[in-house]
Amino acid sequence: MNKDPTRADEDLFRRLKILVVEDSLEMQRLLVALLESMGVVHIAVARDGEKGLAAFAARRPDIIITDGAMVPMDGYEMTRRIRAAEAGGNANPDVPILMISGHAGRENVTHARDQGVTDYLTKPLSADTLYEAIVAAVSKPVHFLDKPGYRGLSPKRSLDARRS
Amino acid sequence: MIERRPLSRLAGDEARNEAPPLDVRFIRVPSIAERKLGSDYVAPMRLDPRVLEQMQTTIRELETKYADSLKSQIAMLQVLVEPACRGDKEARERFYMLAHDMRGLAGTFGYAIVGQFADSLCRYVEHSRDGDWRDGTVVNFHVDAIRDAFENPGTDPAITMETLNALDRLIGSDINGNGSQRKSG
C-alpha cells in the first residue's frame, strides 16, 4: 500500500488522460492551466460536443470535463451519445463526465443527470471545486445498472450541483 | 476489470419484497485510481493544500490577461448593443456569447459583480422577445452596470446588491408574466 498520498497523487495525475470540451477560449485556457497545476499532462481539448465525441473515440480519456451550452452540439447531447445504448460496443456507462455550467437551476442539473453526467459544477469555477471534483472522479468506483435495453448510471441517483 | 455483484442481502425486508428481476445486474467498475495504480491503492480523498495553492497561483497569474480580455469584451458589448436592439440577429448572438463568457469567468478572476450582472443579463436575454430587445432599456442598463462594475470595483456593495435585486424582480416578473409566450434564446 502506498504510504505517501502526495506522491501517489502526483503519479496518478501524471497518468490521467483528460478531455476538455469547451467553446470559450478563455475557459479552455483556464481549465488547461488548472489541470496542469494539478500535474495532469495528458490533456486534449475539443471546442464543441461533436468534436468532443470524435476526441473521445480517438483518445479514450479517463475523465471528460465539458461545458453545457455549446453549438452545434452541446454537452448534454454529447453525454447522452457517449452513454447511449444505440452506440453498442462504443457505449461507455462509466467514464466520469463533469459538466461545468453557468445554469445552476434544478431543472438543468436534473437534465444533466438524465443524460448521464457524473458531476455538475456551476460557474464561476473555483480551484477547490474543480480539484474536489477531479479527486472524487478518480477515487470513487462507478456502479451502474445493466439490464435489457439499458446499461448506465442509475437514472434515480441523486445529483447536486457543486457551487464555488 | 468489471465486477458483477449479486443483490445485497443486507438491505432488509423491503429489498426482499421488491427484488429486481434476475436479468438486472449492478456492475461495479473499479475507480480510476485502482485501475491506474493497482487494487491495493488507497485513493487520495483529502485535497493536497500545496496543489490547491498552485492552482490558486495559476488563477492569479491569468488574472491580468483576463482583465485585458474582459475590458475588450465590455467594449464589444457596448458596440453590439445598438445593432442587437435594432434587430441584427448576428449582433444578438455575439452579444449573448460575450455575456455568457462573462457570466462563466468573471467571478473566477475576481470580478464577481461583473459576473452577477452578466448572469442577470443572460437570464433576461434567454427569455426575451423581440419587443424586449427593441425597447432596449433593460439590456442597456445591464451593459452600463457591467461597465461600471469593471471600472469602479470599489462601489458600495449594498448599492450593487440593491441594483441586482431590483433587476431580479424586474426580470422575474417580466419572465413570469410572459413566460408561456417566450422562447429560449
Per-domain boundaries in chain A: 7-163
Over residues B25-51, the pLDDT tens digits come to 888 999 998 888 887 666 556 788 999
Q: How confident is the model at residue B4 (pLDDT cuts 50, 70, 90)?
A: low
Encoded amino acid at B128, one letter: S
Q: Identify the pLDDT of residue A3.
A: 45
Contacts of B148 (CB under 8 A, 6+ apart): B155
B104/A24 CB distance under 8 A:
yes
Residue B184 pLDDT > 50: no
Could you name the CATH architecture of B64-175? Up-down Bundle (1.20)
Residues 119-158 (A) with a CB less than 8 A from some CB of B: 123-128, 130-132, 135, 137-148
Contact B105 A137 (CB under 8 A): no
Give the list of residues 6+ apart from residue B44 with CB closer than 8 angstroms, or none: A5, A8, A9, A12, A135, A139, B33
Within 13 Å of residue B68, how many CA atoms lie on the same side as its CB?
4
For residue A122, the chain B residue with the least C-alpha distance is B104
Interface of B with A in 102-121 (CB under 8 A): 103-108, 112, 115, 119
Q: Between A127, A140, A148, which is nearest B56 by CB?
A: A127
Q: B176 versus A87: which is more confidently predicted?
A: A87
- In the three-class reduction of DSSP (H, G, I as helix; E, B as strand; rest coil), residue B185 is classed as coil
Residue of A nearest to B185 (CA): A69
> Is the pLDDT higher at A155 or at B83?
B83
Give me the pLDDT at residue B178, please. 39
pLDDT per position as a tens digit, B90-145: 999 999 999 999 999 999 999 999 999 999 999 899 888 887 888 888 899 999 99
Q: What is the pLDDT at residue B11?
A: 44
pLDDT value of position B44: 57
B29–A144 CB contact, under 8 Å:
yes
Q: Does A15 touch chain B (CB under 8 A)?
A: yes
Percent of chain B with pLDDT over 70: 77
- Which class does domain A7-163 fall in? alpha beta
Does the model's ipTM exceed the 0.90 cut?
Answer: no
Which of A139, A151, A164 is most worth mutating to test chain B (most B CB atoms within 10 A of its CB)? Answer: A139
pLDDT score, position B173: 53
Contact B107 A164 (CB under 8 A): yes
Low-confidence ranges of chain A (pLDDT < 70): 1-8, 85-90
Cβ of residue B47 closer than 8 Å to a chain A Cβ = yes
- According to DSSP, the β-strands at A150-152 and A142-147 are antiparallel
Residues A160 and A150: their CA atoms lie apart, in Å, by 23
User: For chain B, what are the domain ranges?
Assistant: 64-175
What local confidence, expressed as pLDDT, does residue B177 receive?
41
